[in-house]
Structure 1
Amino acid sequence: MNCPNCQIVILPTDRFCEECGTSLAEESLPPQTQGCSKCGSSPVDIDAEGYCSNCGFRNHSSNSDRFEVLISNQLAGVCDRGLKHRQNEDFLALQTIENPHTHLMIVCDGVSSSQTPELASQTAAKTSCEVLRENLSQGSEDAIRVAITSSLKTVSAIPYKPNINADPPSTTIVMAVVKEKVATIGWLGDSRAYWIAPSSQNSQQLTVDDSWLTDMVKSGKMSEAEAMRSPNAHAITNWLGADVKDSAEPSIINFSIPAEVGYLLLCTDGLWNYVPDASQILALVQQAPIFNAEVISRHLVDFARSRGGHDNITVAVLCFP
């Protein structure tokens, strides 16, 4: 038996969901006829798209709980709500372009403390994919910078209420433009890119988190173990949102794809919180029943769910050769 609001497992004798507080005394109404699940406003304050006119929260829609993007056996991804969150605030966009042959990968994780994070992540991913495609002739690095600038504008334009106790719509982003055996990767926040090779020695995390933890360790003020014990351990220091204005400058790297079988993997912290090291992800990839992008993406997402699914989970995989 599952809670009708957040879907975690409940007992038949439970009167309230311990996770989200939903009353279980009677069958819950669908979200559009319920009050706001975040601030408690009445159903009359919820518009046709699920937005609360008082706090700006978009109430849960099951259509986005899990979706898969299958471009080919080489490129695919899965975006899943997980088991604990009320809604899926991650988003994923993938595309393969010919002439020149180029793969685009974008993964976003809406910031839960912000208003309408699910709209922020979706807007950023869709905008970035379109802008990357239109600007590839400028070169991969410049295309990423233009995509970040455009995404910042579109995310910042999402309506929000400035006078409530929540940040403007915000999201992390990691993207890759893969062309001629070079992956150009740009990011803001703590969504990650990994190279997963046949051996743990050659597998590696490619991105460096924009996070409080990273800053503390890099400055020498704390060890990683000390920083991990802090309540600020998962606080990000860069993102897309109206409150960062023009300071959203992405980190960008170029990674030469080795001449071996391997996988470029982009993911949100819903996966890497369980398996932060590239060697751990490699071990999971090696357990996949079939070595193509679709199966590997599903396998990794389902692993995170099996470990508790405490966050939304998104994985995108590009296979080589």
Structure 2
Amino acid sequence: MNCHQCGGTIAVDDRFCEECGASLVAASISPALVQPLPTIVEVSCQKCGAPPAKIDAERYCVECGFRQAEISKDTNELQPAPNLAGASDRGRRHHQNEDAIALKFIADDTYIMVVCDGVSSSQHPELASRAAVTNCLEAIELALQQAIDNPAAIICQGVDAALQAVAQVPLDPTSSIDPSSTTIVTALIQNNIATIGWLGDSRAYWIAPDKSIQLTQDDSWMRDAIESGTYTPEEAESSPYAHAIVRWLGADTADDGKPSIVTFAIPSLGYLLLCTDGLWNYAPDPSYLYHLFQQANDSHSLPIARHLIRYANQQGGQDNITVGILAIDSATR
């Protein structure tokens, strides 16, 4: 079946559309609006909205001249260092990957990780997430080159650069769809201290045999509803707004673009995991994530990342799935 609002694929028991966020509460959907999903999904111009027929063989729009970003439908993998790797996968339900990831190995004790999840209900979420990860990483790297000795300030510079880049994504001013936006979680690791910043519900975890913990707190309606006491966890989770985020990066959030920051002293051997909700929706509990790491039967970051992607797809793959993993081993410490 497909969504009555955007045409995205939906399952019978879905409460909201993973593509556009529309409520799928049974009372609000007319059976006449539920139609089979077309076999082929064609993409209009990412800038002016011209129909697919106006996109030439080299991906240029003949109406406005904008070159379309190439959208991969496969898993993208990164491994800038033996102990640092990541992967981003389209999943089984989306027609494009709106997540993005950037990883950088700077020196023996310095790493940069950035993971973003484009907001599906905004214009060009795939462009927003890519612009965010690229510019965030570049800004953090530049700050390190300038010998700025304040990790939290460096993270803020990176997130601000991401915000400015997302705000520059070309938009259709006549569209009623929200401006391009994305979540972000980024980490700077130096001397076994991780400084992590985020906006939205992409998460960071510490995964280790002795204790696995969630390091970030979601900027989400569900978290706010539970913490305020307005809803019980069960009530909040069953709400159609359960997955709605309350903070993000976008041109419409310029006044609220400062990330939350946490500093984590890495206590032992283990893994720093950054991921989008395409993974943690299926395994939100840190102890269960550790179980999944063990199931990979490999201590290296890239095989574990592949296993986590495979697991999420086996559970349904209802969203794009992105994971970044830094292994802290005896050689790293």
Please report the TM-score for the alignment, with normalisation by the length of structure 1.
Answer: 0.84
**In structure 2, what is the equivalent of residue 253 of structure 1?**
262
1:83 aligns with 2:92: yes
Give the aligned residue type for 1:21.
L
Q: Secondary structure, in 3 states, of the residue corresponding to 2:295?
A: coil
Q: Equivalences for 1:1-321 in 2 at 5 Å?
A: 21-23=37-39, 34=42, 36=44, 42-46=51-55, 49=59, 61=70, 63=72, 65-98=74-107, 101-136=109-144, 137-138=147-148, 139-199=150-210, 202-258=211-267, 260-321=268-329
Give the aligned residue type for 1:22.
P
Give the aligned residue type for 1:295.
P
**In structure 2, what is the equivalent of residue 13 of structure 1?**
none
Q: 1:206 to 1:106 in 2, by over 3 A?
A: same
Please report the TM-score for the alignment, with normalisation by the length of structure 2.
Answer: 0.81
Displacement of 1:20 in angstroms is 7.2
In the alignment, the residues of structure 2 paired with residue 81 and residue 119 of structure 1 have an alpha-carbon distance, to the nearest angstrom, of 15
Work out whether residues 35 and 41 of structure 1, in 8 Å CA contact, stay in contact via their aligned partners in 2: no
In the alignment, the residues of structure 1 paired with residue 35 and residue 76 of structure 2 have an alpha-carbon distance, to the nearest angstrom, of 24
In the alignment, the residues of structure 2 paired with residue 270 and residue 191 of structure 1 have an alpha-carbon distance, to the nearest angstrom, of 9
Give the aligned residue type for 1:91.
A
**In structure 1, what is the equivalent of residue 26 of structure 2?**
none
In the alignment, the residues of structure 2 paired with residue 183 and residue 79 of structure 1 have an alpha-carbon distance, to the nearest angstrom, of 22
Deviations 1:116-140 (A, max 9, x none): 1000000000000000011122221
In the alignment, the residues of structure 1 paired with residue 254 and residue 262 of structure 2 have an alpha-carbon distance, to the nearest angstrom, of 23
Give the aligned residue type for 2:280.
W
Deviations 1:73-97 (A, max 9, x none): 2100000000100000000000011
Q: 1:302 to 1:255 in 2, by over 3 A?
A: same
Displacement of 1:66 in angstroms is 1.7
Deviations 1:210-251 (A, max 9, x none): 001111111111111111111111000111101112211100
Work out whether residues 7 and 83 of structure 1, in 8 Å CA contact, stay in contact via their aligned partners in 2: no
Q: 1:40 to 1:173 in 2, by over 3 A?
A: closer
* Structure 1 alignment gaps of length 5 or more: 1-5, 9-17
Work out whether residues 143 and 154 of structure 2, in 8 Å CA contact, stay in contact via their aligned partners in 1: yes
In the alignment, the residues of structure 2 paired with residue 91 and residue 51 of structure 1 have an alpha-carbon distance, to the nearest angstrom, of 24
Deviations 1:127-172 (A, max 9, x none): 0000001112222110111111111111101110132131111000
Give the aligned residue type for 2:219.
D
In the alignment, the residues of structure 2 paired with residue 303 and residue 206 of structure 1 have an alpha-carbon distance, to the nearest angstrom, of 22
Give the aligned residue type for 2:244.
A
Count of aligned positions: 292
In the alignment, the residues of structure 1 paired with residue 36 and residue 121 of structure 2 have an alpha-carbon distance, to the nearest angstrom, of 16
**In structure 1, what is the equivalent of residue 29 of structure 2?**
none
Identical columns (%): 46
Displacement of 1:272 in angstroms is 0.3
Q: Secondary structure, in 3 states, of the residue corresponding to 1:310?
A: coil
Work out whether residues 148 and 250 of structure 1, in 8 Å CA contact, stay in contact via their aligned partners in 2: yes
Q: 1:51 to 1:249 in 2, by over 3 A?
A: farther
